[in-house]
Chains A and B, each alone.
Chain A
Amino acid sequence: MSSTVLQLDRISKTFQLGGGRELTAVDRVSFEVEENAICVLLGPSGCGKSTVLRMIAGLETPTGGEITLGRHPVTGPGRDRGMVFQAYTSFDWLTVRRNVEFGMKINGVPAGERRERAEHFIRLVGLSKFLDAYPSQLSGGMRQRVAIARTLANGPELLLMDEPFGALDAETRWQMQELMADVAEQAKTGMVIVTHDIEEAIFLADKIVFLSAHPGRVKEEIVPAFKAGGRIRPKEELVQTPGYAELERKIMRLMREEGQHE
């Protein structure tokens, strides 16, 4: 039995622009994320995906509706919701190891356990050789993996990622997708991932929430039923599974419809 970790109940966000003008970026968005499940947010540019994610993280306050994590309403940022940003966020003054230990350190995890967990997650993202390197010595993709390891090592209940693999090369991107699938299955971590990549969305998602633009609303919730609740690996097999091509076409059609409104 899977239970709900995150619930969005008619969330809205209206930004106050200068000169008394307003912009409703997100309009009464509702969806749920189950334990161990990956929820992918898809939609045209500017439809409010990042805003939704930031509200879940507590970095932005909704102007309407309620977000509940477990049994508690979200009122601000906290370690129970880890976030990986699209821009690089490595702490340049700390080595890879210390970057990954940062969250655990400020939360009072004892040194021994900290070290062990950090090494485990650094190995998981394939950076064991760079434990004591500084971020400035790493490539962009490697820095992003440091950020992912740092977030995972902190043990969040929910992992939020805003186009985390956008800047990675195809090979690394593919590895990271596999990694996220592993993490979702092993750890009891729910995930909300924003992406533009349809293949990535179908591979990772237990549920795809498709948003329409201006204002951002849930246009459709898609459960890739052909995956039968699991993840089909390797990816080349996924794309040949009956049902994949159909779903891909459907999402492309949704994208095109929304794009034309602009």
Chain B
Amino acid sequence: MRPSHARKSRFLEVRRSIPRRQAILSAIGIWIVFFGIWLIATEGGWVNELLVPSPLKVFQTTWNLFVDRGFIGDIGISVGRVVIAFAMAAALSVPLGVMMGSFPAIEAIFAPFVSAWRYLPAPSFIPILLMWFGTGEAPKLALLFLGVVFFLITLVMDHTKNVRMELIETALTLGANRSVTVMHVILPAVLPDIVTAMRQMLAVTWTYLVIAEIVASTTGIGAMMMRARRFLKTDEILSGIIVIGALGLLFDLLFKAAHRWLFPYLKESRG
């Protein structure tokens, strides 16, 4: 019998965290495999070059789009739409969700309304939004807004309801009135969860952005991709997809960084 501390480490360990180096190598590895297969398939002539261009060509095209074709302008327009629509949705959802989560009387008014709207797919409003708002920025912003606002309200409300009753009762016995309790106890207690919910819903906003731009726009990343389709430029379509993915990732990282910066006290948590 060998002593137990000499137990050799294995690749698969149930719920045992792995070293950071291994995590990074694993993450890079899977992407190398992905691009490798893509490269072999196209270079080896296994797939129709017209439908699946090689990854090298896609990167080349992406570069050209930025340098020669003013792609950054389209990206700017798309990012602007996401940011504006999301800011409007958050400006409504956060106060309303916190109020609904704090006061059952307010929840009773809005919850039945909000949950009904949540089950309506936002894209079903595209035709009517186009008729109401024409072809400017308004119908796109409206679609993005409708797509996330009801989910965000519900998430904020649920998180607010999860603020522990003891915290609220502590505030009350210290002499807090309603507004102090909501603004100085419930809100700061729930804020980290709100930022997390916003991070999740921002990803959904990107989904609606692409829908809006593909269906009804002449500008933005989605519109660029639809133009490319007409000219059978699969490389440009794939460039668009890669850029959208990269932007989504970037925003996610920004939110994560903001979370760490805004709530330093969470990081220090023991256990």
Which residues of A are in contact with B by a Cβ distance under 8 Å? 57-59, 77-79, 81-83, 85, 87-89, 91-93, 102-103, 106-107, 134-137, 147, 150-151, 154, 160
Contacts and interface: CB of A to CB of B under 8 A. Distances in A.
Given A57-B173, A151-B174, A92 B164 contact: no
B267 to A, nearest CB: 8
A134 B263 CA distance: 11
A59 B175 contact: no
Contacts of A147: 170
B268 interface: yes
B188 A150 contact: no
Contacts of B270: 136-137
B265 A136 contact: yes
24 contacts: A59-B172, A59-B173, A77-B173, A78-B173, A79-B173, A82-B174, A85-B169, A85-B170, A87-B164, A89-B164, A92-B189, A92-B266, A102-B174, A103-B175, A134-B265, A134-B268, A136-B265, A136-B268, A136-B270, A137-B268, A147-B170, A150-B174, A151-B173, A151-B174
B184 A83 contact: no
Contacts, number: 73
B182 to A, nearest CB: 12
B167 interface: yes
Nearest to B266: A136
Please indicate which of the listed interface residues A58, A91, A160 has the most CB atoms of chain B within 10 Å of its own CB: A91
Interface of B: 164, 166-167, 169-176, 180, 184-185, 188-189, 191, 263-266, 268-270
State the main secondary structure of chain B at its contact with A.
helix
Contacts of B167: 89, 91
A82 B169 CA distance: 10
A137 B270 CA distance: 6
Closest 7 interchain pairs by CB? A79-B175, A103-B174, A77-B172, A134-B265, A83-B173, A136-B269, A89-B170
Given A59-B169, A154-B175, 16 more contacts: A58-B173, A77-B169, A77-B172, A82-B173, A89-B166, A91-B167, A92-B265, A106-B174, A106-B176, A106-B184, A107-B174, A134-B264, A134-B265, A135-B265, A151-B173, A160-B173
Looking at B173, B189, B265, B269, the one whose CB has the most chain A CB atoms below 10 A away is B173
B188 A91 contact: yes
Contact of B173 (A81, A91, A136, A137): A81
Contacts of B170: 83, 85, 89, 147
Contacts of A150: 174
A59 B265 CA distance: 30
A89 B184 CA distance: 14
